[in-house]
Every structure is written in C-alpha cells, then in structure tokens.
Amino acid sequence: MSLLEVRNLTVQFGPRERPVIAVEGLDLELDAGEVLGLVGESGSGKSVASLALMGLLAPQARVSADVMRYDGRDLQALSARERRALLGREIAMVFQDPHASLDPCFSVGDQLMETLAAHHGGPRAKLREQALDLLRQVEIPDPEARLKAYPHQLSGGMSQRVGIALAIAGNARLLIADEPTTALDVTVQAQIVALLLRLQRERGMGLILISHDLALVSQLAHRVLVLYAGQEMEQGPVPALFEAPRHPYTEALLRALPEHNRGAARLQALPGNVPAADARPAACLFSPRCPHAQARCHAERPALEGPGDARVRCFFPLADAQRHPLGAPA
Amino acid sequence: MPGFLLRRIALLIPSLIGITLLVFALLHLIPGDPVEALSGERGMAPERRAQLMLRFGLDQPLPAQYLRYVGHAVQGDLGNSIATGEPVLREFADRFPATLELSAAAMLFALLVGIPAGVLAALRRNTPMDYGVMGVSLAGYSMPIFWWGLLLILFFSVHLGWTPVSGRIAIEFDPPRVTGLMLVDAWLSGEAGAFRSALSHLVLPAIVLGTIPLAVLARMTRSAMLEVLGEDFIRAARARGLAPWRVVLRHALRNALIPVLTVVGLQIGALLGGAVLTENLFSWPGVGKWLVEAIHRRDYPVVQGGILLCAVLVIATTFVVDLLYGYVNPRIRHAR
Amino acid sequence: MPADNLASSAPKLAPDLAPVSPGTAFWRVFSANRGAVAGLVIAVLLIACALFAPSLAPHSPLEQYRDAVLKPPAWMQGSDPRFLLGTDPVGRDLLSRLIFGARLSLGLGLVSVTLSLAFGVLLGLLAGYARGWGDALVMRIADVLIALPALLLAIAVVAVIGPSLVNTMIAVAIVMLPHYVRLTRATVLQEREREYVLASRIAGAGPLRLMFSVILPNCAAPLIVQATLGFSTAILDAAALGFLGLGAQPPAAEWGAMLAGALEFIETAWWVSSLPGLAIFLTVLAFNLLGDGLRDALDPRLRQ
C-alpha cells in the first residue's frame, strides 16, 4: 500500500488577485521502503511542497490538493492537533542547515530526551539510554560526551547526524530530507548520504530526498521527480531518467553537470531565469529557456503524459535522436 | 567565559575612574568659590577661609586633590552634608533601601507584565491584541511619568480613596528598622495592618516607576520573539512533533530572553532617573528626593557624593547584568 | 535558499516596473502609516502654536487676574468664560500658559537637539575618520556619559551651572551628545571602507571634503530618525527638570514646572496640573509617532 499519495497539490501565497504560486498541480506517490528524489533549482517549490505535506507552512499559505493521504488517512480532513500528532511519529524531516535545526540554548542530550519524551515518555534514565542509542545509530563517536555538548560546539557533520537522530527518534515511517548535505563539506557529504541510506533500509522508511544535486540523487533514489517553477516536468525511475531524459529541462540539468563537461571550454549553463512566481504565463513554463521550443510551447501549457512512474510534461519530449550522447552520470 | 569576564572587568575600571573624574570636576566647575560651596559658609574672614582650605585640601594642586578625593571616597568618606552635618555616605545608606524597594518593585512589575505582553503580541501578530499592546507600549514611553503618577493619584487616591498619596507607611505605624525595606520590616514587626499599609503605599509608586520599563520590555520581547520564531530551529522543533506551548515557551522564549536581558540591564539605569521623579511626586523618602533637595539647598557635598554613589551603583548593576548575560548566552558561556 | 524558506514569511511581490522618485516612494510608505501621519498633523499644529503663540493666546501668560484664581475649565461648573481652560493658583490663564509653554518646550527641544547634533556629529566624524588616541578618548568619555542615567546626568549638569531655561537646554544637549557621537562614528567606520569613499580619495578629495560631502550624507537617514526621536526625549527630559524645579524658573510658563507648582491643589483643582501633563504627553507622542514613521519609511529594506 502506498505510504504517501498526493494529487494536484497547489500552494499559494500573497493576495488572491495576484497570488504567488509556489507549487502547482503536483502529484506524488511513495511506498514504504522507496526513495523518491525531488530535484529542481532554487525557487522550484520543492521545499515548499514538503513543508506543505507536513503542515508547517505559515498560516498565510493556501494549500489545496485533490488528494493528500498518508497511509490511507486523509491529511486534509485531520484537525490541527491530529495533524501535529503525525509530526515526528509518522512523518519526519531533516533540514538543510544542521546548526539552524538545533536550539543553541540546550544541549544535545536535552533536545534528544525532550523529543523522546514527547514520543515515548518514560523515566529519565530510560530516555538517556534511548538518546545514547540514537547517537550510536547515527554513528556519533563517544556518545556520552556528546550528550552534554551544545550545538555550537559541534561540527557541521556532527550536527547533521544529531538532526537525523532527532528526526528518527519517533520512529517515523516517512522521512523527508531537504538538502541534507548541501551545507556540509564534500568529505562529510558522502558519510551522511551513506548513513541516510542505511537507516532507510534498516527501518524500511519511505524517503523523499530533496536536492539540486543530481549526482547525489542518482545514488540514493529509486525514482526521481523533476520540478521546475512549481510544476512537475518529468518523473521516472533511476537510472532510466538519467540515461534517457525526455524533458528538455532534465537534459539541460544533466548537461550542466561538471562531469559532462570534461574537456569542454565552458560549462553548459542554462540561459534565462525561472519565471516570476506571481506572473506565470499560460505557456509551458520552461519554453523561454528551452532550446527545442516551438510555437505551441509558447502558447499552451502541456499536461503530464505517461504512466504513473514515467511521466513527462512536454509537447515534444526528447526522442533518442535529439539527445546528446550522455550516458549515466559518472 | 573567562575571557569575557576579564574583558568586562577591564572595561569596568576606566568607567569607574571616569565617573570619579567627572564628579570631582563637578565641584570645580561650579561658578563661585569652592570653599563656600563645600562648607556652606559665606563671607568668611580670611583666617577662617585659610583654615577651611587646609581642611578640604583645596590648597593642593588639582591632581593631588583628585587623588585625595578618590582616596577618601574609597574609604567611605565623602564629606558631610552642609544641612545636617552628617556624613554623606551615612545619609545615602539611610535612604537607599527606600529607593531600592521602590525600584525592585517597579522592575518586578515591569517584568511580570511586560514580558508576557510582548510574548502575546508576538504570537498574535497583526491582530488587535498586538496593536493594543504596541499602542499601550508607545503611550507608556511617551508619557512623562510624573503626569502618569498624577493621573493615578487622581483616580485611585483622590477619587476612589483606595491608596494613599504619599509616604511609605501610614503614620500610626512605625516598625523598627531592620532591613530598611518597609515591606520586610512591617512584616517582621508583626503589627496588625502594618504590612498591608506598607503595601498599599508601595503599589502606586511602583506602577508609575515601572511603566516605562514595562513599555520598553514589551516592545523588545515582542521583536525578539518574532525574530526567534522565524528561526529554523523553531520550525525544526515543530517538525519533531513537540507541543506548541513547549516550542514557544521552552525554546522560543528562552532564546528571546537573551537580548531582552540586555534591555533589562539598560532599564536598571533608567529606573534610577525615574526614581528621582517618582520619589518627588509621592514624597517617597529615598535617594532621589534627597538629591534634588540638596541641589535646591546648594548642599554640594551631598550633590557630589550622591551622584557619585548613584553612578557607581548603576555601573555596578550594569556590570552584574552583563555577567549574567554572558552566562545565559551559551556561546559566551562556553567560550575560552 | 530564500525562495524555499517560506515557512514563516511569504515572498514579496514583484516590484512595480515604473521607476518612482525617492520622494514619492518615501511618501508612499510614510503615508500608509496612520500613526505617523497623525503624529505629523499634531506636530505641525504644535509648531504652529509655538510660532504664533502671541497671536493665538487669548491672554498674556504672565498676567495674574486676582479675581479669578483657580477657575475651572469651561465645561465645568463655576467657570469663567474668559478662561477656556481655567486659571492657575495665582489667576493666570491656563490656555495661554499652555500655548506659550509649547513655544518654550519646542524651542528648548529644537535648540538642544541642534546643539547636540552639531557637536555630536562633528565629534563622531572626527573620531571615526581620524582613529587613533583621539578616537579612543572621545569614545571613553562617551561611554562614561552614556553609562549614567539621562536624568541623573542632567541633574548633575544643572547642579553645577544652576537652574534656568538656558541651562536646561545645555544639560539636555549634553545628555544626548554621546548618542550622536556614537551613531555618527559607527556609520563613519562602516562607510569609510566602502568603494565610493575610496573612489573619492583616489580622485583626490581631502579629508574635510570626504567627511562632509561624501560620508555625512550617507549617515543622514539614521541621524534624522534619531534627531526626531531625540527631540521628544529632549522635551521629556526638559519637562522632568522643570518638574523638579531645576528648569526654567517661575513665572515662566514651562509645562513641567506648571505641573509641579499646582500639585498641592490636586484634590480641588485637578486641571491645573493635569492639563500641562497632557500637553507634554501629546507632544512627545506626536514626535515619537513621527520618528517611528520616518524610520520605517527611510529604511531601505522596506522599500521595493
């Protein structure tokens, strides 16, 4: 049974006459044990979408969806309190900036035990044991000493491990990782990635991995969803999506990877900008920057075409002949 | 923390020296004859004048006089009041508990009302409650407190008759002085009604004096809370499923109180200035009233000594609050 | 990424495409703030009172009408139609004294702030630009002055130079001085490393020109806001000194002194003390609202 089912998720801000549309018509499915990669550049709406799922957006945000179900339960029908009860226990999140996710005034142990108490309760000694156990699970050396440490005394990688420990403290079944490695050193990134993968497999969690880093996503995800300007542009399984992208935007993202530009004089960057969030044209949102755009693309918006696990939003999806020889990313 | 401590102490010394210089200069900046100013005697015979000059050390060069002044001050000798002949330090010590009691009650009032008001305003941002709190806060620090006190006296004392107009306790009570704090002494005396009388005398002046700190604290707490509530770790705490009250009180407020503590420290200094006005309005026998009377009487030893003592107190309290801030802020606490 | 961090704030709207002059942009933000506009209106009225006091006031503020002592205001029983707001303990018209009090208080505020601003900015510019031991000395003195509570310092100054209207101005100016020194110096330190300053130096501008023509205009906005708010503080401090009897001496119509002078009559003639206090409150409130409005309107971050 699917863990998460979302249809036509839309998130808007600002005045109704001229709304800022952060996410538009997004469909998401995730099964337990599956890893979905959510890929896109800044402003594509990937973080907003995940925050909307958790119900953590500001009250001014207008969230609507035809279907928003977790484990069969309709999230939109839940009261605020019931919704809150899911956080940490069923759905958890790991944030991009590890230090910013920790309260600077309390020690690691305090925050871990507080979270554990909220989810499991029990005497303090037991909570302490559980906290130590969590720290071991996230591979933090010398956990007893770390319990007393304050966030500013921890390195980036260590803080992110603590962040992950806090996220899994409630034994959530769906974990959303929003750019978990972006703020970390390259050497640490690989460790955190491996950690996430291991935890996901051990606990059979559904994992939504949000990132702009295609290489990272290709290592971890089973499926990838490509977002642009709040809309889904393409979705497909790994490695098929990377070997044979069908949407020009996906292809452009792949082409811009440094790995594919070895020997080239310049990186192939994509010209132009994402359209303004409060002035979205009625055309294909990518058409201003698309090298293959035709007249129809500038006039109409394409709908998503294709079976559930391999969709594309394009009037003229790329066929083999048009693609540059790429192969899967190194 | 040790580095922080040392740096703060290092800043303290020049401030104290600066104050003594300022106060010392005060006497010599007064137009007229310093001998007359210090002794209160006018039109003296030359021998008398020479005698007094010697006694006050005014025949020495200025730097020597300054050192003499500081030397005496450190030992507690700040001269004698012209009006009463009593040592200035003793007069100050007699009256200081009254000012202390008033200021402490005022600050307590400001903290107990101001901080929750600021928190509520932040949580209910841009609602009538928020505007209400901010409006009252603006009115609070735009008001001359002697007028505010006047209005309260008019309403509560004159119109309703609930509170007395002046003094610390009703005339019929005279509890023996143990601490100098009327509330405590009245309680200790065991006399029926004494404590209640002391309390009713304290209420209005404390509210008046505490109004401006309250207004400032409400504003600062609100803005500090708003800033903290926008931080990532608050959102992360919510994402972990922590109860809303816990997120707000344990996490947000705790962090917001750090900058608010700085404001509290600044307000302590402002309290002393306000105390001068409040004491004069309510005839509260504290340091402020004593100082102003001395200025009118040209009792310069009192003026000089009183200002020095008040200034030293303010600098000392600010220093303590600074240290507290260093302890409360975990980054500073754990620094080398 | 800012666009994704939307949990606590919505993104701003795209800016208007048509260019707007800074003056219009300023006015737009300022006029949207109703409190600020109210403050401006009241401030203008008060300034008018102060300027045209002799024409506006029905009587002289000093003339004593022995037959009309402690008359209540027009809306109460027993009032005298000659005196709309009643009279004080020696029979002087309260309305006229309030109007002339506006002249006194606003004039006092203006002079104090101007003095303080002029010297403060000068010292701040010199300290910030020149650095070295002169800077350290100025800052240490400023620190000591700021460490003292404002009223205490003002009282100390008045204790030395004696109570009078002029000395009140000087005392209040001294109280505000270190704040302007600090503010200017901080801005100078910030600006002097900027490119436009370095460019001017390369172009050959001397230190004086750099300080006054290049750096100073960029400090203008925070200084204006501080000056407006400082104006209301000056009025409050001056009124406090007047209340303590350390300001303008009788028979001058100073609001604080008027309030203190009639305290003993509070039970029978409440208006004589209350109305001057109300005048102080309204004036300070108006300039505080104005200052807050200016600060919000001049803050570049709020402008699109």
Tokens of A278: 């409060």
- Residues of chain B with Cβ-Cβ distance to C149 below 8 Å are 269-273, 310, 314
Q: What is the pLDDT of residues B302-325, one digit of tens each?
A: 888 999 999 888 888 888 888 888
Interface A:B, Cβ pairs < 8 A: 79
Q: What is the pLDDT of residues A117-137, one digit of tens each?
A: 999 888 999 999 999 999 999
Q: Quick one: which of A12, A6, A10 has its CA closest to A61?
A: A12
Would you place residue A324 in the very low, low, confident or very high pLDDT band (cuts 50, 70, 90)? low
Say yes or no for a CB contact (<8 Å) between B241 and A102.
Answer: no
Say yes or no for a CB contact (<8 Å) between A58 and C14.
Answer: no
Q: Do residues C187 and C222 lie in contact, with contact meaning Cβ atoms separated by under 8 Å? A: yes
Tokens of C295: 């600060």
Chain A residues interacting with chain C (CB cutoff of 8 angstroms): 13-15, 18, 20, 22, 42-43, 45-48, 51, 56-58, 60-61, 178, 276-279
DSSP bridge partners of A7: A67
Q: What is the pLDDT of residues B4-54, one digit of tens each?
A: 888 888 888 888 888 888 888 877 787 777 777 777 777 778 888 888 888
Task: Supply the pLDDT for residue C2.
Answer: 40
Pairwise CA distance, residues C98 & C101, whole Å: 5
Say yes or no for a CB contact (<8 Å) between B330 and A166.
Answer: no
Would you place residue A102 in the very low, low, confident or very high pLDDT band (cuts 50, 70, 90)? very high
Does an H or E element contain A215, and which?
helix A214-220
The domains located in chain B, with CATH, are 2-74 (no CATH), 92-144+212-335 (1.10.3720.10)
Find which of A48, A63, A227 to mutate to test the C interface (most C CBs within 10 Å of its CB): A48
Using a CB–CB cutoff of 8 Å, tell me whether B336 touches chain A: no
Q: Are strands A62-64 and A91-94 parallel, antiparallel or unpaired?
A: unpaired
Q: Do residues C293 and C36 lie in contact, with contact meaning Cβ atoms separated by under 8 Å? A: yes
To the question of pTM greater than 0.90 for the whole model, the response is no
Using a CB–CB cutoff of 8 Å, tell me whether B238 touches chain A: yes
Pairwise CA distance, residues C284 & C255, whole Å: 12
What's the N-to-C CA distance of chain A in angstroms? 34
Would you place residue B157 in the very low, low, confident or very high pLDDT band (cuts 50, 70, 90)? confident
Tokens of B292: 């102003």
Helices (H), chain C: 22-32, 34-51, 53-56, 94-130, 132-147, 150-161, 165-191, 195-202, 207-209, 216-243, 255-261, 271-298
Q: What region does C52 belong to: left with phi over 0, alpha with psi -120 to 50, or beta?
A: alpha
- Residues of chain B with Cβ-Cβ distance to A92 below 8 Å are 239-240
Q: What is the pLDDT of residues C286-296, one digit of tens each?
A: 999 998 888 88
Give the angle subtended at the CA of B192 by the CAs of B189 and B195, to the nearest 5°: 65
Across chain C, what does the average pLDDT equal? 83
Selecting from C6, C8, C14 the residue whose C-beta is nearest the C-beta of A48 gives C6
List C residues 232-261 in contact with B (Cβ-Cβ < 8 A).
232, 236, 239-240, 243-246, 256, 259-260
Task: Supply the pLDDT for residue C4.
Answer: 40
Q: Do residues C285 and C231 lie in contact, with contact meaning Cβ atoms separated by under 8 Å? A: no
Shortest CA distance from A52: residue in chain C:
C7
Amino acid at site A168: I
Q: Do residues B270 and C148 lie in contact, with contact meaning Cβ atoms separated by under 8 Å? A: no
What's the N-to-C CA distance of chain C in angstroms? 20
Selecting from B235, B246, B331 the residue whose C-beta is nearest the C-beta of A56 gives B235
Task: Supply the pLDDT for residue A262.
Answer: 60
Task: Supply the pLDDT for residue C9.
Answer: 43
Q: What is the pLDDT of residues A190-246, one digit of tens each?
A: 889 889 999 999 999 999 999 888 888 888 889 999 998 888 888 989 888 888 888
Q: Do residues B225 and B217 lie in contact, with contact meaning Cβ atoms separated by under 8 Å? A: no
HEC-encoded secondary structure of chain B: CHHHHHHHHHHHHHHHHHHHHHHHHHHHHCCCCHHHHHHCCCCCCHHHHHHHHHHHCCCCCHHHHHHHHHHHHHHCCCCECCCCCCEHHHHHHHHHHHHHHHHHHHHHHHHHHHHHHHHHHHHCCCCHHHHHHHHHHHHHHHCCHHHHHHHHHHHHHHHCCCCCCCCCCCCCCCCCCCCCCHHHHHHHHCCCCHHHHHHHHHHHHHHHHHHHHHHHHHHHHHHHHHHHHCCHHHHHHHHCCCCHHHHHHHHHHHHHHHHHHHHHHHHHHHHHHHHHHHHHHHCCCCHHHHHHHHHHHCCHHHHHHHHHHHHHHHHHHHHHHHHHHHHHCHHHHCCC
Cβ-Cβ contacts under 8 Å for C132 (sequence gap 6 or more): none
Using a CB–CB cutoff of 8 Å, tell me whether B293 touches chain A: no
Average pLDDT over residues B155-162: 85
Interface B:C, Cβ pairs < 8 A: 139
Ranking A159-163, A245-249, C23-27 by mean pLDDT, the lowest is C23-27
Please state, for a pLDDT cut of 70, what percent of chain A lies above it. Answer: 92
